Amino acid sequence: MQNSNILEVESLAVRFGESRARAVDEISFGLAKGETLGIAGESGSGKTASILSILGLLQRATVKGSAKFEDRELIGADNKLLNEIRGKRIGLVLQDPFAALDPVKTVGHQISEGLRASGWSKKRAMKHAIHLLEEVGVPSASQRVNAYPHQFSGGMRQRVVIAMALAQDPDVLIADEPTTALDVRIQKQVLDLMKQQCENRGMSLVIITHDLGVISNYTDRIIIMYAGKIVEESNRLKLFDQPLHPYTQGLLDCLPNLGNSENEYLKTIGGQPPIPGKLPSGCRYHPRCSFTEPVCTQGDNPQLVPVKWGRSACIQLEKFLRESQ
């Protein structure tokens, strides 16, 4: 484990039930202290499964590989260790704030619950809950702390969930599609809030998303996943300027462009991602890729290798870089 990394993942693999098909197929990455990492890809790419497996939150899943948090192994760890890490050292913001909150308990009760379980008095925990609501921008926090989830808007519910994740001052905050179902203005407010809180507290931040536009201004580094594999890892600025994989280019092409004419349609990536267990030979992206050559369709899926300013799993990288300019 590199000294600068707070989390180090090696050869992580996840499969569900009795199936031999892997939803996550031997991925490796690190997270540095204070870094903001984006993990992007279409639905089913394995980005959420990889993070939940690290925290031991996947039911009926077989997880192999290694995930070390400050040199402590999380894969296969007992509940005692996982309970020391989850919430206290690694905070989690789920994509559906309404589902993440108990509808019959006040938000103050839910924010303070973990603190009280850690030995805080009810009075002290509730006072801290009010402080957290103020920090995340909930107005009239001393009154709203006694409100129920249905009494908040979608954006405010997400702020409550962020307050819950921050309650025990974790070292890492993981946000899984944190702006789902929020309008663009509220999306920016939520992302600004998480980024600012992480900077203020010196926390690392992981943002999981299917939309590269969401994380374009908030990450230091971005990982692109496709069909359970990492296909690219790159510095954010370089990724948007010169991606290292055709799939990344396809995702970027799908972003709305204010310079497009009013009659121009949004671009899409043709076809569908492969189903686990029914993967094509060679590169898993080749049936949808415009740079495919016969060599791309043969053998095993290409390995992720260091190139340029990041890592890429593209067999035709030089051709892609040359023709995509």
pLDDT, tens only, 149-169: 999 999 999 999 999 999 999
Using a pLDDT cut of 90, give the percent of the chain over it: 79
**Cβ-based neighbours of 68, under 8 Å, separated by 6 or more:** 1, 7, 8, 9, 10, 74
Q: Strand 22-32 to strand 5-16: parallel, antiparallel, or no bridges (unpaired)? A: antiparallel
What's residue 279's pLDDT? 93
Categorize the per-residue pLDDT at 1 as very low, low, confident or very high, splitting at 50, 70 and 90: very low
Structure tokens given for 207: 């943002």
Average pLDDT, the chain: 92
For residue range 77-103, list pLDDT tens digits in order.
999 999 999 999 999 998 888 889 999
**Mean of the pLDDT values across residues 129-145?**
96
What's residue 66's pLDDT? 98
Q: Where are the beta strands (DSSP E) in the chain?
A: 5-16, 22-32, 36-40, 61-69, 72-73, 90-93, 172-176, 204-209, 221-226, 229-235, 305-307, 310-312
For residue range 248-279, list pLDDT tens digits in order.
999 999 888 766 666 677 888 999 999 988 99
What's residue 105's pLDDT? 97
What's residue 3's pLDDT? 52
- The yes-or-no verdict on residue 323 having pLDDT over 90 is no
- The yes-or-no verdict on residue 202 having pLDDT over 90 is yes
Q: Which residues pair with 27 in a beta bridge?
A: 12
Whether 14 and 22 have beta carbons less than 8 Å apart is answered as yes
What's residue 322's pLDDT? 85
What's residue 193's pLDDT? 94
At residue 170, what are phi and psi to the nearest 5 degrees?
-70, 165
Structure tokens given for 249: 């280019």
What's residue 144's pLDDT? 97
Q: Which residues pair with 305 in a beta bridge?
A: 312
For residue range 18-48, list pLDDT tens digits in order.
888 899 999 999 999 999 999 999 999 999 9
What's residue 255's pLDDT? 87
Q: CA 31 → CA 40, 68, 179, distances in Å?
A: 15, 10, 22
Whether 311 and 27 have beta carbons less than 8 Å apart is answered as no
- The yes-or-no verdict on residue 2 having pLDDT over 60 is no
- 118 vs 264, residue with greater confidence: 118
**d(Cα 236, Cα 150) in Å, to the nearest integer?**
37
Using only C-alpha atoms, what is the Rg of the chain? Answer: 21
Q: Cα angle vertex 297, ends 244, 311, to 5°?
A: 20
**Whether the model pTM is above 0.85:** yes
CATH number of this structure's domain 5-219, picked from the four choices 3.40.50.300, 3.40.50.2000, 2.30.300.10, 3.40.50.720: 3.40.50.300
List where CATH 3.40.50.300 sits in the chain.
5-219
**Mean of the pLDDT values across residues 207-219?**
91
For residue range 5-26, list pLDDT tens digits in order.
999 999 999 999 888 889 999 9
